[in-house]
Chains A and B, each alone.
Chain A
């Protein structure tokens, strides 16, 4: 049994997340994203690797959250490629995904004039196939496949997904955040028994600072700017970051009693705020606690921005889309505000190369050529935001350590860093880790539980008590003062039950655990025992001399019985801890048996090489079982002396 993971996207890169996992015959597609950096066929995962008929080969699609690199290819895959099976995502993702996809389609088609990959109708049709799930709700996809969503932080509605088929179980994390921010909580998951975890690794090596430090720097920059009468432009993505920063500013404004207006450029952001207000149960603890009195997304100080206000005097703060100043309203405002050194532009943590955002972040340009005719003087201040909804290296390690799966696959990260993290996971946590590239398949063994029937005798033997008695007298109590106090050794009884049995697997029958006594009967076999034998020469003189030195006063005799008694006495003397039984013609110590050998050609006798004998040697014929080997050799060595 094995779990095969075919990485179609986000293998050693960030973008177009898509992993096909086959567990016990079920094939699940986790995420169906697109790559923002490519415009050719590399934009989408290579679906042809899945096989000829998607509907037959794929059991379901699971989407973790609404970011385009996790959902962007979904309408294309369902409507253009023709997948019609079930698609699972959380409620907020289902609500917000169409907004994202439609926005993206518009930008592609209307602004860049590209050929459209999918139409608005496609999006609508695609969303009809979506089955929404709630957190911690176990969904039975079919007879064998169970899935369950866990809170992941990151963005509104982001989830980690647990999938289980038979005994094999795995978790696909999607993107997640282990530290809460102003509007979302931290990722939460149960301790599960897992064969595989597929985790993102955006910050595979970075350990981030406290979130407070990020907030402080941002607030300080904004406050200083508006205090100096400047305007602050916050180009931002409509969902997620904008809300977080806005809550932060709103709170600060409230406390500092600031009156400077905050604006949202009309459009997506306002629409998104409406959704946030409705999806309170997916936000952070604080917002959940307080929303009955005040909905945190009801921004008191936030107003709608009109185009005519761009050149209005006085300080203000403006949130405008898109986030990377790649065009649209944020670019328009930027053109007006950039030339004044009083103003401030905050940049998101990551900008795609080629956008103005990217130019501003890489060095501080004084002039930016927009196109052939337009050149912008950039004198304003630039503040780079370090907010990020991804967990850092410590968070990844913490999660992996918490889940302790048997195998880990890293996706959604940069190749060299992933390699470092992979090394850490293997060396520090001792968990097998992989970082496959795109279109590679990783195969890991999966758990399979076999049920075994227990025989009655075995069950009975398990329930038998296994008493052990031991006395414990505390030694130090018997000191000087205990003359009048008798120390009574306390009897300790321990009952460590040990279940010993033998697992028997027969052809075409269920596995069975039996007691060891039953085994022979069951197999219809006889018991075999291995015995050792050795005919040991002994020098009578030796024994007699010993006898004399011990001066026991026994008369010298060479009869066999006397010799045995002699030996018995000697053994009793030397081996006080064992029980020596005398049966007349032989002695028995445990399984060791010794008798006088009268045969001349005993098969167990070794050729005596001591040529110069003074006495006729005596021979003790010994035999013993395996377990008493040590004891046997001890006795033999004594006989020889």
Chain B
């Protein structure tokens, strides 16, 4: 690890005094890698000014990693990063935002006045991605004085007027900023409260979005950790009339009822507020959102925020950080920047790969996240074919068919091999299944129309049952699917369906952020065939059964589940199933071991052959595949619990 001085030196072309002295010091301590100031001088500056945007982007990215180490370095780096927001490549600009967001996450983002012109400029940028990236950073930013706060709020309001489509996001940002800067909010509200009063005829000027935005700002103040943030109670009453819009904007934070509760409580008292913001209304729902990862210790002490920190499990926390990033690919994918999205996923994968140490990698959430990323990759690849206004990629339809099939299989696997999925998590997966079905249906070229339609309605039914108790709001997409299904009716007359209908519904899909609550368990198995490899095959006599000794370890498999050993003789394409009796297994529930000799009957007349062996679990699926019923063996769909294992056999001489 290099010293902070060396880090700082990389940001300045001038050789700093500190590193000049350091050089002699470093020579004394023998083992240390000797880095002299003049060699690293301005390394990042050169990187950020490079002619190739790939280099500039990489420089921004690595800055992000290093800013975690030192806040002083982060401060200096921010000076450069803010200027990068003026780079001529959008990819570089977005990466700069990403880096800033990372800095903010670790509490190293110290915005100064000289930065503001450039930064606020991006809030009114023409590009949607830029605006939303800037707002994402703003949610976490800590502004040092009222002047900056005021200009930030003003620019956000300008943004709102210019781009009404950003309304929900802007209100959300205002709420976050307000919570971070309670005192400033009070000051601002005092100044503008006149504008917010009802006009003479008794009607509130609420069609004015500006007022709405200020209301959101105002109601966030009591949640600030700064005490004595008193807001006139009447404001809360005004906000109630605006409930729909606000709760829509804050849907990731609080449920509508919770918000109403909160508003009415606040409007009754004139502060100081001691009431709890009733997040519990959305508990178990998407409400872990106050980004557990983001509000790190610096906000500890505030009971309200800590509340959202109930994800105590470190692994799950870090997985959530990764999942947060996964969500961000969606705008790219939707806009047709698939490569960009895939690149992000790849970096997520790489990030996960670095977490292989010990318990993390073996944890259920890790496996889940890994799977999830794979699914996202497939989804992104499939989605390219549905992006409007772009020519179809050169790959043929068969390719899409393949991708969708794989996506389908992966999703069922995800659904069935994890236990302890929360309702929200399960709904998220179901939604993805629905998307896959819709994707299939919206392409006429893909066959199995009826089957897919059946699967669609089954999945929807499953989702409906989860939604039944009303604790979780269905997404817009689900509502659309529900409508569509009722339109099609129960006739299931596939031929009458128009792909355009499905496609329209797909447009309403938006990838929500998936937040893991922890407690996930991955159902898996380890299969080992001892002393068998290419050089040491098992012996058999053609036509007679052969026993294959299997050492099996089961993880998290319940006693009730029906397990099968699937054996396929390679090249002959003949599959056998052998049932595994769970009672055979010793040990406790989450870790059971057995040695089992599996019989393989139809040994071919061959000198030698291989058998692929795999442990599978039967699970109940929405659409039961009747084709399985024809012979003995599993009746439902199977999910494989381990990788296929090759067994080598050769004839007895």
A residues within 8 Å of B by Cβ? 179-180, 182, 185-186, 207-208, 210-213, 215-216, 219-220, 223, 251-252, 254-257, 284-286, 392, 394, 428
Q: Contacts A255-B126, A257-B124, A286-B89 known; A216 to B117 CB distance under 8 Å?
A: yes
- A-facing residues in B78-99 (Cβ within 8 Å): 80, 82-84, 86-89
Task: Report the separation of the CA atoms of residues A211 and B86 in the bound assembly, to the nearest whole angstrom.
Answer: 11
Closest Cβ–Cβ distance, residue B501 to chain A (whole Å): 35
Residues of A within 8 A of B82 (CB): 216
Q: Contacts A212-B83, A216-B118, A394-B42 known; A255 to B50 CB distance under 8 Å?
A: no
Task: Report the separation of the CA atoms of residues A215 and B127 in the bound assembly, to the nearest whole angstrom.
Answer: 20
CB < 8 Å: which of A182, A186, A392 contacts B88? Answer: A182
Q: Is the CB of B48 within 8 A of A212?
A: yes
Closest to B82 in A: A216
Residues of B within 8 A of A223 (CB): 117, 121
Task: Report the separation of the CA atoms of residues A186 and B84 in the bound assembly, to the nearest whole angstrom.
Answer: 18
Closest Cβ–Cβ distance, residue A385 to chain B (whole Å): 16
CB < 8 Å: which of A215, A256, A284 contacts B51? Answer: A284
Q: Is the CB of B86 within 8 A of A219?
A: yes
Q: Is B14 an interface residue (CB 8 A)?
A: yes
Task: Report the separation of the CA atoms of residues A285 and B56 in the bound assembly, to the nearest whole angstrom.
Answer: 13
CB < 8 Å: which of A186, A251, A394 contacts B41? Answer: A394
Q: Is B210 an interface residue (CB 8 A)?
A: no
Q: Is the CB of B125 within 8 A of A212?
A: no
How many chain B residues touch A (CB < 8 A): the figure is 30
15 other A-B residue contacts (CB within 8 Å) besides A251-B88, A255-B127, A285-B52:
A180-B51, A185-B51, A210-B80, A212-B80, A212-B83, A212-B84, A216-B86, A219-B86, A223-B117, A255-B121, A256-B124, A257-B162, A286-B53, A286-B89, A392-B13
Residues of A within 8 A of B125 (CB): 255-256
B residues within 8 Å of A by Cβ? 13-14, 38, 41-42, 45-46, 48-53, 80, 82-84, 86-89, 117-118, 121, 124-127, 130, 162
Q: Is the CB of B124 within 8 A of A212?
A: no
Closest Cβ–Cβ distance, residue A213 to chain B (whole Å): 6
The 7 A-B residue pairs whose C-beta atoms are closest, nearest first, are A212-B83, A180-B51, A285-B51, A257-B126, A185-B51, A207-B13, A220-B117
Task: Report the separation of the CA atoms of residues A437 and B11 in the bound assembly, to the nearest whole angstrom.
Answer: 37
Task: Report the separation of the CA atoms of residues A257 and B121 in the bound assembly, to the nearest whole angstrom.
Answer: 11
Q: Is the CB of B49 within 8 A of A210?
A: yes
Residues of A within 8 A of B13 (CB): 207-208, 392, 394
Q: Is the CB of A211 within 8 A of B49?
A: yes
Q: Is the CB of A216 within 8 A of B42?
A: no
Residues of B within 8 A of A208 (CB): 13
Task: Report the separation of the CA atoms of residues A85 and B220 in the bound assembly, to the nearest whole angstrom.
Answer: 80
Closest Cβ–Cβ distance, residue A299 to chain B (whole Å): 15
Closest Cβ–Cβ distance, residue B123 to chain A (whole Å): 10
Task: Report the separation of the CA atoms of residues A213 and B49 in the bound assembly, to the nearest whole angstrom.
Answer: 11
What are 27 sample pairs from A and B whose C-beta atoms fall under 8 A apart? A180-B51, A182-B88, A185-B51, A186-B50, A207-B14, A210-B48, A210-B49, A210-B83, A211-B49, A212-B48, A212-B49, A212-B86, A215-B86, A216-B82, A216-B83, A216-B118, A252-B86, A255-B126, A255-B127, A256-B126, A257-B124, A285-B52, A285-B53, A286-B53, A286-B88, A286-B89, A394-B42
Residues of A within 8 A of B88 (CB): 182, 251, 286
Residues of A within 8 A of B80 (CB): 210, 212
Q: Contacts A216-B118, A220-B117, A256-B125 known; A180 to B86 CB distance under 8 Å?
A: no
Closest to B45 in A: A210
CB < 8 Å: which of A179, A285, A428 contacts B49? Answer: A179
Task: Report the separation of the CA atoms of residues A213 and B124 in the bound assembly, to the nearest whole angstrom.
Answer: 21
Closest to A247 in B: B88
Closest Cβ–Cβ distance, residue A472 to chain B (whole Å): 25
Closest Cβ–Cβ distance, residue A226 to chain B (whole Å): 13
Task: Report the separation of the CA atoms of residues A461 and B417 in the bound assembly, to the nearest whole angstrom.
Answer: 72
Residues of A within 8 A of B38 (CB): 428
Closest to A219 in B: B86
Q: Is the CB of A180 within 8 A of B50?
A: yes
Residues of B within 8 A of A185 (CB): 51
Residues of B within 8 A of A182 (CB): 88
Residues of A within 8 A of B46 (CB): 179
Task: Report the separation of the CA atoms of residues A314 and B131 in the bound assembly, to the nearest whole angstrom.
Answer: 29
Residues of A within 8 A of B51 (CB): 180, 185-186, 284-286
Closest Cβ–Cβ distance, residue A507 to chain B (whole Å): 50
Residues of B within 8 A of A257 (CB): 124, 126, 162
Task: Report the separation of the CA atoms of residues A213 and B89 in the bound assembly, to the nearest whole angstrom.
Answer: 17
Closest Cβ–Cβ distance, residue A18 to chain B (whole Å): 31
Q: Is the CB of B49 within 8 A of A180?
A: yes
Residues of A within 8 A of B124 (CB): 256-257
Residues of A within 8 A of B86 (CB): 212, 215-216, 219, 252
Residues of A within 8 A of B49 (CB): 179-180, 210-212
- Give the one of B14, B86, B125 with max A CB within 10 A: B86
Residues of A within 8 A of B127 (CB): 255
Closest to B50 in A: A180
Task: Report the separation of the CA atoms of residues A186 and B124 in the bound assembly, to the nearest whole angstrom.
Answer: 32
Residues of B within 8 A of A256 (CB): 121, 124-126
Closest Cβ–Cβ distance, residue B73 to chain A (whole Å): 16
Closest Cβ–Cβ distance, residue A281 to chain B (whole Å): 14
Closest to B125 in A: A255
Closest to B114 in A: A216
Task: Report the separation of the CA atoms of residues A284 and B124 in the bound assembly, to the nearest whole angstrom.
Answer: 28
Residues of B within 8 A of A179 (CB): 46, 49
Task: Report the separation of the CA atoms of residues A621 and B312 in the bound assembly, to the nearest whole angstrom.
Answer: 94
Closest to B53 in A: A286
Task: Report the separation of the CA atoms of residues A218 and B52 in the bound assembly, to the nearest whole angstrom.
Answer: 23
Closest Cβ–Cβ distance, residue B90 to chain A (whole Å): 9
Residues of A within 8 A of B89 (CB): 286
Residues of B within 8 A of A207 (CB): 13-14
Task: Report the separation of the CA atoms of residues A180 and B53 in the bound assembly, to the nearest whole angstrom.
Answer: 12
Q: Contacts A180-B50, A216-B117 known; A254 to B83 CB distance under 8 Å?
A: no
Q: Is the CB of B126 within 8 A of A215?
A: no
Closest Cβ–Cβ distance, residue B576 to chain A (whole Å): 50
Closest Cβ–Cβ distance, residue B201 to chain A (whole Å): 36
Task: Report the separation of the CA atoms of residues A167 and B291 in the bound assembly, to the nearest whole angstrom.
Answer: 67
Residues of B within 8 A of A210 (CB): 45, 48-49, 80, 83
Closest Cβ–Cβ distance, residue B597 to chain A (whole Å): 40
Closest Cβ–Cβ distance, residue B322 to chain A (whole Å): 31
- Give the one of A185, A186, A210, A213 with max B CB within 10 A: A210
Task: Report the separation of the CA atoms of residues A271 and B537 in the bound assembly, to the nearest whole angstrom.
Answer: 81
- Give the one of A182, A208, A284, A286 with max B CB within 10 A: A286
Task: Report the separation of the CA atoms of residues A211 and B80 in the bound assembly, to the nearest whole angstrom.
Answer: 10
Closest Cβ–Cβ distance, residue A283 to chain B (whole Å): 11
Q: Is the CB of A254 within 8 A of B126?
A: yes
Task: Report the separation of the CA atoms of residues A392 and B42 in the bound assembly, to the nearest whole angstrom.
Answer: 13
Closest Cβ–Cβ distance, residue B300 to chain A (whole Å): 36
Task: Report the separation of the CA atoms of residues A9 and B591 in the bound assembly, to the nearest whole angstrom.
Answer: 86
Task: Report the separation of the CA atoms of residues A219 and B50 in the bound assembly, to the nearest whole angstrom.
Answer: 21
Closest to B54 in A: A285
Residues of B within 8 A of A220 (CB): 117-118
Task: Report the separation of the CA atoms of residues A212 and B118 in the bound assembly, to the nearest whole angstrom.
Answer: 11
Closest Cβ–Cβ distance, residue A279 to chain B (whole Å): 17
Q: Is the CB of A213 within 8 A of B52?
A: no
Task: Report the separation of the CA atoms of residues A212 and B50 in the bound assembly, to the nearest whole angstrom.
Answer: 12
Residues of B within 8 A of A394 (CB): 13, 41-42
Task: Report the separation of the CA atoms of residues A179 and B88 in the bound assembly, to the nearest whole angstrom.
Answer: 15
Task: Report the separation of the CA atoms of residues A1 and B275 in the bound assembly, to the nearest whole angstrom.
Answer: 92
Task: Report the separation of the CA atoms of residues A598 and B42 in the bound assembly, to the nearest whole angstrom.
Answer: 82
Task: Report the separation of the CA atoms of residues A172 and B125 in the bound assembly, to the nearest whole angstrom.
Answer: 45
- Give the one of B45, B51, B124 with max A CB within 10 A: B51
Task: Report the separation of the CA atoms of residues A215 and B84 in the bound assembly, to the nearest whole angstrom.
Answer: 10
Closest Cβ–Cβ distance, residue A435 to chain B (whole Å): 22
Task: Report the separation of the CA atoms of residues A185 and B50 in the bound assembly, to the nearest whole angstrom.
Answer: 9
Residues of B within 8 A of A285 (CB): 51-53
Residues of B within 8 A of A212 (CB): 48-49, 80, 83-84, 86-87
- Give the one of B13, B42, B53, B118 with max A CB within 10 A: B13
